[in-house]
């Protein structure tokens, strides 16, 4: 994994019309920033399809963003079901079931 590609999360609540239309408390996390065009995955040279946000733990007081390609996201789904992990699509929308969205590995 390319560790320098990991960075502090810039997640802040983003004002979006679709967020205002949802019932309060419908999403456990606010919308996240979109993946920038031309970005590369942390795990390989593929285009990222999802952004994984790891919550602060222990001595790390900030969130970490990981950009994952579809293959590595599918392979990591069992591990990513941990508490404190949020997965967002390329547009910054929370993904509740990544295995369903991105299919299964063959």
**Per-residue pLDDT in tens (0 to 9) along the chain, 106 residues:** 444 444 455 544 333 334 333 444 444 566 788 999 999 999 899 999 999 999 998 888 999 999 999 889 888 888 888 888 999 999 999 988 776 776 654 4
- pLDDT at residue 92 in the model: 92
- pLDDT at residue 5 in the model: 46
- pLDDT at residue 105 in the model: 46
Which domain, by its residues, includes 7? 3-14+27-96
Lay out the sheet containing 64-68: strands in order across.
7-8, 64-68, 50-54, 85-89
- pLDDT at residue 67 in the model: 95
Q: CA-to-CA distance for 105 and 98, rounded, in angstroms?
A: 12
22 domain residue, yes or no? no
The total of structural domains in the chain comes to: 1
Q: CA-to-CA distance for 43 and 17, rounded, in angstroms?
A: 33
Residue 5 — φ and ψ, nearest 5°? -75, -15
102 domain residue, yes or no? no
Contact 98, 87 (CB under 8 A): yes
21 domain residue, yes or no? no
Q: Is 59 helix (H, G, I), strand (E, B) or coil?
A: coil
20 domain residue, yes or no? no
């Amino acid at each position: 994994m390319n560790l320098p590609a990991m960075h502090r999360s810039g997640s802040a609540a983003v004002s979006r019309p679709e967020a205002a239309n949802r019932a309060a408390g419908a999403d456990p996390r606010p919308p996240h920033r979109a993946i920038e065009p031309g970005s590369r995955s942390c795990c390989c040279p593929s285009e990222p399809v999802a952004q994984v946000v790891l919550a602060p733990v222990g001595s790390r007081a900030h969130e970490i963003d990981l950009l994952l390609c579809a293959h590595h996201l599918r392979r990591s789904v069992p591990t990513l079901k941990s508490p404190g992990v949020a997965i967002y699509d390329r547009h910054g929308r929370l993904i509740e079931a990544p295995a369903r969205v991105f299919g299964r590995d063959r």
